[in-house]
Amino acid sequence: MRPTWDIFCSVVDNYGDIGVTWRLARQLVAEHGLAVRLWVDDLSAFAWLCPQADVAALRQHQQGVEVCWWGDDWQAVDTADVVIEAFACELPASYIAAMARRAQKPLWLNLEYLSAEEWVEGCHGLPSLQSNGLSKFFFFPGFTAGSGGLLRERDLLEQRRAFQADSGAREVFLRSIGVTPLPGARLISLFAYENAALASWLDVLAADIQANQLLVPEGRILQDLQTWLGCSALRAGDMQQRGQLHIQVLPFIQQDQYDRLLWSCDFNAVRGEDSFVRAQWAGRPLLWHIYQQADDIHLEKLDAFLAHYKAGLSADGQRALVELWHAWNTGQSVKESWSQLLQRWPEQQEHAEQWGLQRASQADLAEALVKFYLNWL
Ligand code: TRH
């Protein structure tokens, strides 16, 4: 019998919670042959990532995954061999009770948020004894060998390499999402939260000597974009030009297409958790808008990542990168740091490629989860 896995996702906000769990569920099915149920409490968020989804269906099969809705009115079901609560979401009390009653106890995992902080390695894989006698294990994704790794499909980097080596494939893909690449332009994607630093970046892109083609999937940054443009109600398909800056609003596309967008661009501004990781697999210079937390603790996480990422860059390359990322995440002008980064462009390109290759030498998160289960048995 195939082991059964249940992944519970509670959508807090945006697309990261569902984005990570949907990607993980598909990979566990496709690459490990597991029977996976993905429990989601907000099917409308799921439908953004999987437009074929039926938002009214209590159960449905999508890409080999059984996607189930869960809410306050929990109906008893058989528990699975492995139970993942994503991002410390709270499992239904009766489900936990049923886990404890099982003759063969399930492996219970709390899949945590991604962080490059040092303490992660020390906590990864630790059990925590629960009042019902079950142990819950903390599973931390991460960037180093002592962590749970990053989500990465088995042949992702080969696919990416082949795509980037084939200018025709890039052109065909971009046209399929309504984008005509401008000859000689720097192609940039922008996915971010509201950001007071945006205007300074747009100013410098517009005043550049090289053309910049900025692709912006529909989302929270559009308001700031509209303010800078002095227009209202931007929607997918809209195009605007200011000086050397050509802006196009894109529809929200599916995860696999979004990967291709990141692979197609020279520079990617990303946010949250999943798009941040995907931009690293693109092997192109990137800018991270980290998810804001109380008391600015997100800035510590930002620096923890930068401490790893900047290693290997020249002193000037490091300075440009750190200043740009700090400014972007604190709403300060990026004018100076962006110009500095451009002066170090080949170095940043080479570094982004190497960083991705080094991370890809570690086990990916899905593989690490499966190994953890096999060792635990
Ligand atoms: O949407 P995010 O900001 O999500 C999260 C959540 O806010 C979460 O609560 C928070 O804790 C976490 O960030 C840190 O950013 P993220 O993680 O990048 O998720 C976006 C998902 O949407 C990701 O799977 C990529 C996908 N996506 C598409 O599929 N198509 C698109 O066009 C775009 C722009 C993104």
Q: Is 1's pLDDT higher than 90?
A: no
Residue 141 near ligand 1, beta carbon < 6 Å: no
Arithmetic mean of pLDDT, 93-112: 96
If you take atom 30 of ligand 1, which residue's CA is the nearest one? 253
- Domain 156-360 of CATH type 3.40.50.2000: yes
Predicted pLDDT of residue 98: 96
Q: Is 311's pLDDT higher than 90?
A: yes
Give me the half-sphere count of Cα atoms (radius 13 Å) on the Cβ side of residue 1. Answer: 5
- pLDDT band, residue 370 (cuts 50/70/90): very high
Which of 273, 347, 364, 367 is the catalytic position? 273
Predicted pLDDT of residue 76: 86
Q: Are strands 59-62 and 4-9 parallel, antiparallel or unpaired?
A: unpaired
Domain locations along the chain: 4-150+362-376, 156-360
Residue 272 near ligand 1, beta carbon < 6 Å: yes
pTM of the model: 0.97
Mutate to test the pocket of ligand 1, among 52, 274, 278 (most ligand atoms within 8 A of CB): 274
d(CA 100, CA 239) in angstroms, rounded, equals 57
pLDDT digits (tens, 9 = 90+) for 112-121: 999 999 999 9
Give the position of tokens 């990053």: 150
d(CA 288, CA 302) in angstroms, rounded, equals 8
d(CA 66, CA 356) in angstroms, rounded, equals 31
Terminal-to-terminal C-alpha distance of the chain: 15
Which of 6, 17, 224, 347 is the catalytic position? 17
Give me the half-sphere count of Cα atoms (radius 13 Å) on the Cβ side of residue 73. Answer: 2
d(CA 335, CA 338) in angstroms, rounded, equals 5
Other Cβ atoms closer than 10 A to 41: 18
Q: Is residue 303 annotated as part of the catalytic site, yes or no?
A: no
Q: Is 277's pLDDT higher than 90?
A: yes
Residue 252 near ligand 1, beta carbon < 6 Å: yes
- pLDDT band, residue 72 (cuts 50/70/90): confident
Other Cβ atoms closer than 10 A to 73: 6
Q: Identify which of 245, 342, 328, 323 has the alpha carbon closest to the alpha carbon of residue 285.
A: 342
Average confidence score pLDDT of the chain: 97
d(CA 357, CA 352) in angstroms, rounded, equals 9
Residues 291/17, Cβ–Cβ less than 8 Å: no
d(CA 22, CA 7) in angstroms, rounded, equals 9
- pLDDT band, residue 161 (cuts 50/70/90): very high
pLDDT digits (tens, 9 = 90+) for 29-58: 999 999 999 999 999 999 999 999 999 999
Q: Is 194's pLDDT higher than 90?
A: yes
Arithmetic mean of pLDDT, 223-236: 96
Interval between CA 20 and ligand 1 midpoint (Å) = 8
Interval between CA 315 and ligand 1 midpoint (Å) = 32
Q: Are strands 239-242 and 135-139 parallel, antiparallel or unpaired?
A: unpaired
Predicted pLDDT of residue 134: 95
Burial class, 244, CB count within 10 angstroms (exposed 0-12 / middle 13-18 / buried 19+): middle
pLDDT digits (tens, 9 = 90+) for 54-71: 999 999 999 999 999 999
Mutate to test the pocket of ligand 1, among 273, 280, 293, 329 (most ligand atoms within 8 A of CB): 273
Predicted pLDDT of residue 108: 98
Residue 291 near ligand 1, beta carbon < 6 Å: yes
Q: Max alpha carbon distance in the chain (Å)?
A: 69
Q: Is residue 273 annotated as part of the catalytic site, yes or no?
A: yes
Q: Is 100's pLDDT higher than 90?
A: yes
Q: Is 142's pLDDT higher than 90?
A: yes
The strand ranges marked E within the chain are 4-9, 35-40, 59-62, 65-69, 82-86, 107-111, 127-129, 135-139, 186-190, 212-217, 239-242, 245-250, 267-271, 286-289
